[in-house]
Amino acid sequence: METPDPFAVWLPLARAHKSVLASVETALKQAGLPGLDWYDTLWELECAGDAGLRPFELQEKLLLPQYGVSRLAERLAKAGLLARRTCNDDGRGQVLVITPEGAAMRARIWAVYSAAMQQAVTPHFSPGEARRLAELLAKLLRPAPADKI
Amino acid sequence: METPDPFAVWLPLARAHKSVLASVETALKQAGLPGLDWYDTLWELECAGDAGLRPFELQEKLLLPQYGVSRLAERLAKAGLLARRTCNDDGRGQVLVITPEGAAMRARIWAVYSAAMQQAVTPHFSPGEARRLAELLAKLLRPAPADKI
DNA sequence: TTGATATAGATGCAACTGCATTTACATGAG
DNA sequence: CTCATGTAAATGCAGTTGCATCTATATCAA
């Protein structure tokens, strides 16, 4: 049976990602705003609401290394965008909670982020194509079908 | 008319990229080999053959910043994987040429790279899906149709 | 309780990146 | 030729990342 060529997928995937990412990050930098790593973190914390998130939970959600989260949290805390609460259940841990300033910042980033991303993506696709592309990309993220490994 | 949702494309695009990239880079690291930036550079230089490439040409091909190429070339040269020749046409410039060791290294990286990438991608798609995905991703890289901007 | 092992998170150090600037040569106008 | 401007590449510095290790607490067996 015919085999799909994985490079025909990977090469444009890498380039498309690099290209869209670059336009978004450039737009954020021009607006004097922090990058997508800060945005993603603030987003997760805002979703978590008042309960906040443990650093290791953030680590799983964002696919970052442990020390990455540790230092990201440090910077965001220094910028006043999140608060570190001591964790009652576990003396080793802490709970990260977004501050009002953090939520405001997330909103400011979002305005620029969404506009730039839309500009970078929308013009290239019809709605049907966009849906199909999203669907196919999602397949890469699901665990592989057992019979194909 | 219905508008495609760009986030439905961007989010899985970013995640799929991160996920595949991570498996490839991990495999390279485990094999004690350099990362994809070195591979891409060696690949371009090998394609360019004996004529080599000017740093600014590499910069365009790899979408790297100027100082990024400058330092990458420095490291690759120190590792003996490329040679810097003085450029006869332009006294400011130089020409980067791959060495036999560089070509050998590219081949070693390729063995691991291709296997890891194949494992990360192939199981998720039928050949038809892979083709369609490659096609759609390529649309992101072409200049946008004029009537959609 | 005590000791062995596991987990949460921080951190020292070396390598890498981004930004701004610098050096050196090229080019074109006068 | 000479000066002003432009382009190729390097570099100092501050900030960031990766790796390995370290500290502190938790958990569980004996």
**What are the residues whose beta carbons fall under 8 Å from the beta carbon of B66, sequence distance 6 or more?**
B55, B56, B59
Cα distances (Å, whole numbers) of residue B38 to A30, B28, B35, B52, B61: 30, 11, 6, 16, 13
Is the C-beta atom of B75 closer than 7 angstroms to strand C? Answer: yes
- Strand D-proximal residues of A, range 33-72, CB below 7 A, are 37, 65-68, 71-72
CATH of domain B31-112: 1.10.10.10
Cα distances (Å, whole numbers) of residue A113 to A48, A73, B5, B112: 21, 21, 14, 36
Å: B23 CA to D6 C1': 44
Closest nucleotide to A26, Cα to C1': C18
Mean pLDDT, residues A140-144 taken together: 77
Burial class of residue A33 in the structure, from the number of CB atoms within 10 Å of its CB (0-12 exposed, 13-18 middle, 19+ buried):
middle
Distance CA B40, CA A122 (A): 29
Ramachandran angles phi, psi of A85, nearest 5°: -100, 145
From first to last of its 149 residues, chain B has per-residue pLDDT tens of 566 678 899 999 999 999 999 999 999 999 999 999 999 999 999 999 999 999 999 999 999 999 999 999 999 999 999 999 999 999 999 999 999 999 999 999 999 999 999 999 999 999 999 999 999 999 998 776 655 54
Contact A46, A100 (CB under 8 A): no
Distance CA B39, CA B41 (A): 5
Strand partners, B86: B94
- Chain B residues with beta carbon closer than 8 angstroms to that of A63: 15, 18-19, 22
What pLDDT, on a 0 to 100 scale, did the predictor assign at position A5?
79
Distance CA A104, CA A81 (A): 9
What pLDDT, on a 0 to 100 scale, did the predictor assign at position A44?
98
Burial class of residue A147 in the structure, from the number of CB atoms within 10 Å of its CB (0-12 exposed, 13-18 middle, 19+ buried):
exposed
What pLDDT, on a 0 to 100 scale, did the predictor assign at position B149?
47
3-state secondary structure of B57: helix
Is the C-beta atom of B32 closer than 7 angstroms to strand D? Answer: no
Is the C-beta atom of A94 closer than 7 angstroms to strand C? Answer: yes
Domains of chain A, residue spans = 32-113
Å: B61 CA to C30 C1': 39
Distance CA A56, CA A70 (A): 9
| Residue B132 identity | R
Ramachandran angles phi, psi of A46, nearest 5°: -70, -40
CATH of domain A32-113: 1.10.10.10
